[in-house]
Chain A
Amino acid sequence: MVGMVIERDSVGEEGDDVVTPGEFLGEATEFIAGKGAYVSPNGRSVRACLTGRRKVTAAPPGSHDNRSTIEIVGHKAHGAVPQPGSIVIARVTKVMARNASADIMCVDSKAVKEKFSGIIRQQDVRATEIDKVDMYQSFRPGDIVRALVLSLGDARAYYLSTAKNELGVVSAQSISGGTMVPISWTEMQCPLTGQIEQRKVAKVD
């Protein structure tokens, strides 16, 4: 394969051009392959293996190797991925009789780059009296919840849990459209109309 002659970017800057997998990034003698790049089988060139923009970082001072590191940024594989045990922020999309679906938006305070689905089952909503849980009085579509990832779940969704004091609905809108204020661990009140609605409220410090 013919290597293209590419102008070298200034160290530390991101290029504006998009590179695609297989594209030649630099000589292996001048660059170390970082995230999203690899050294070609003949050991002489560094090529991209993801789609994104190239980024060159200078070698840390005092290391043997003074080659810059070249890596690919802007690809969603670099975004946060929920792992069992991580705290996620999700928006409830559907509430059903036995579970509620939610779209995971942040993992451990880092935003995700692609959509992950989560499910909160009836028995994972709270820690006490789990068979008497009414899903409609715990969540509504559109609520923002803080949840814990229990497991990777099935092919469709992660399993989430709100069964702790600090987990549950963090922000919700009332029927009248106002952002509600929590008044207990089961109730939130609308500031516009004074109506009280039931939710599983998170204890936010």
Chain B
Amino acid sequence: MDVDTGNMTQTNLVDKVVVPGDVVLDLTKMENQTIKLGSGLRQDCDYISVMQAGKLRLSKPNKYWVESSQKRYVPRLEDTVLGIVVEHRSDNFLVDIKAPNLAFLPVLAFEGGTRRNIPKFETGTLIYARVVKANGIMNPELSCTDASGKAAEFGQLKNGYMFETSTGLARMLLSSPTCPVLEALGNKISFETAVGLNGRVWVNASSPDDVILVSNAIMRSEFLSGTQQRIMAEKLLERLQKS
């Protein structure tokens, strides 16, 4: 593949789709600059090249990363995820978070957690937690407290319905301002959701009809634009005579 590195001080690939192997920046042409690389990019001696297919993004002045969407999850520090308890060991729970390894959730990683009040999570319990240790080699570690030790909505999610999505849809649901489909649904139905960046979404509402409606609307909204999402949500709501 011919590489045109003639004018690579600023890349012209920002916001375009890139594939692994694409050269984004030529470091020999840039002097005395600091560049920050996010996910999907790596330094290959003198070039910055792409590791993952997706859209290249730039956050001024110097932060580059590749946004991609997959069905599997690679754990990253400080991500909030939805996990399913698989086993209870003596000092931590083993939790499945759709990652290559099972994650460890220490039994004391809860607000006010001591040896006397260890939560009784059975196999299959759905947990909303935060990733506190994630390198590619060891099992990731989770925590059900925020950085200051408070519970902050982390912990077991009871009732409701959980379904799996791609990581891209999970990020879209968490974007601000509020994702259009959630806004359109929220105008007519009262529901609560928990979105895990590992591609799991939990929905809870007062009646099963509402839960199913919200879940279907979310699942269908992945590749729609903002307006299309609103129209789709309205159509679904009409069917159940909610509007």
Spell out A's residues near B (CB within 8 Å).
Answer: 95-97, 135-136, 140-141, 175-176, 192-193, 195
Contacts and interface: CB of A to CB of B under 8 A. Distances in A.
B3 interface: no
Q: Is the interface of A mostly helix, strand, loop or mixed?
A: loop
B138 A141 contact: no
A140 B43 contact: no
A192 B135 contact: no
23 contacts: A95-B137, A95-B138, A96-B138, A96-B139, A97-B104, A97-B138, A97-B139, A97-B141, A135-B138, A136-B135, A136-B137, A136-B138, A140-B137, A141-B137, A175-B42, A176-B42, A176-B43, A176-B44, A176-B45, A192-B45, A193-B43, A193-B45, A195-B43
A172 to B, nearest CB: 13
Size bin of chain B's contact surface:
10 to 19
A96 B101 CA distance: 12
Nearest to A178: B45
A97 B137 CA distance: 10
Contacts of B44: 176
A135 B133 CA distance: 12
Contacts of A136: 135, 137-138
Contacts of B137: 95, 136, 140-141
Closest 7 CB pairs of A and B: A193-B43, A136-B135, A192-B45, A95-B137, A96-B138, A97-B138, A95-B138
Nearest to A194: B43
Nearest to A94: B137
A29 B135 CA distance: 67
B126 to A, nearest CB: 25
